[in-house]
Amino acid sequence: MPAHRSGTPRTSRRPRLAAAGTLLTSLALLLALPGAATAAPAGKDVPSRGTARMGQGVIEHDGQGGLPRDSRVVQTEGVDVSSHQGNVAWGTLWNSGVKWAYVKATEGTYYKNTSFAQQYNGSYNIGMIRGAYHFATPNTTSGAAQANYFVDNGGGWSRDGKTLPGVLDIEWNPYGAQCYGLSQAGMVNWIRDFTTTYRARTGRDAVIYTATSWWKDCTGNNAGFGATNPLWVARYNTTVGELPAGWPVQTIWQYTSTGPVVGDHNRFNGAIDRVRALANG
């Protein structure tokens, strides 16, 4: 009679244990990549798609200090707005000294600002130099697809002296992990895909809006855009602080989210003629 063997052969357990160990190691390495996780942190309230706005994550990640000190360098006040502001009192802003504005046009390839016409045309009609910005979601579609969507829905440019080049708003992900699940190299490639497509469509280099800490974390502090794309940096403090690599100076500084009339106020690094020069290309 054949001998009876009870239980599972011991030799069968080792391959399973080894495979489990390999899987855990792979998951640990994957999660260690910058921005590799795609889910929102536990306990974080995730806003509705389309509601993201410029500078939404600045205070949470970088904090907030005082207002900028007076400077001997001439600077020109501006604002940025989105659907959160609804119909904007452009006359009040103009009378307070605001001379330029950027208006959110699009997000991803799924959202268009419902207040865009009043904001974009209203700022123009009051006499401001204005432009449009796109809130990037690099985990939803390609840079080229989002650049095309932006241009097709308000983000174009014309040499009329009152239209600024479009802005790529690339910052913390309000819907999940801060780097949108991309590696640093993947993020750089995505940004380049957007900016290359935008230039091909409009003839202008897009302005890049970001924060230094995000740029370091999510692009590895890539220095490859400073020679072509003007920098709009976010820092809510008394000085502009450290800039991302590749940019010796900022073109625009978003210095507060609690300014008068609308929250987000900015300083263009130059007099109004320099704002007009950027508009004219």
Architecture category of domain 58-280 in CATH: Alpha-Beta Barrel (3.20)
Q: Is the pTM of this model over 0.85?
A: no
Give the pLDDT of residue 47.
Answer: 79
DSSP 163: B
Give the pLDDT of residue 18.
Answer: 45
Neighbours of 102 (CB within 10 A): 30
The active-site residue out of 62, 80, 107, 264 is: 80
Give me the residues of the chain with pLDDT under 50, please. Answer: 1-38
The active-site residue out of 171, 205, 217, 264 is: 171
Give the pLDDT of residue 13.
Answer: 46
Give the pLDDT of residue 17.
Answer: 41
Residue with structure tokens 């605001």?
Answer: 98
80 is catalytic: yes
169 is catalytic: yes
231 strand-pairing partners: 208
171 is catalytic: yes
Give the pLDDT of residue 180.
Answer: 97
Give the pLDDT of residue 70.
Answer: 72
Tokens of 276: 């007009």
The active-site residue out of 45, 70, 160, 169 is: 169
SS3 76: strand
Give the pLDDT of residue 184.
Answer: 98
Helical spans, DSSP H, in the chain: 13-32, 58-62, 90-96, 116-126, 143-152, 184-202, 212-219, 272-280
Sequence-separated (6 or more) residues with CB below 8 Å from residue 23 = none
SS3 25: helix
Give the pLDDT of residue 198.
Answer: 98
Give the pLDDT of residue 10.
Answer: 44
Is residue 138 within 8 Å of 185, Cβ to Cβ?
no
Give the pLDDT of residue 68.
Answer: 77
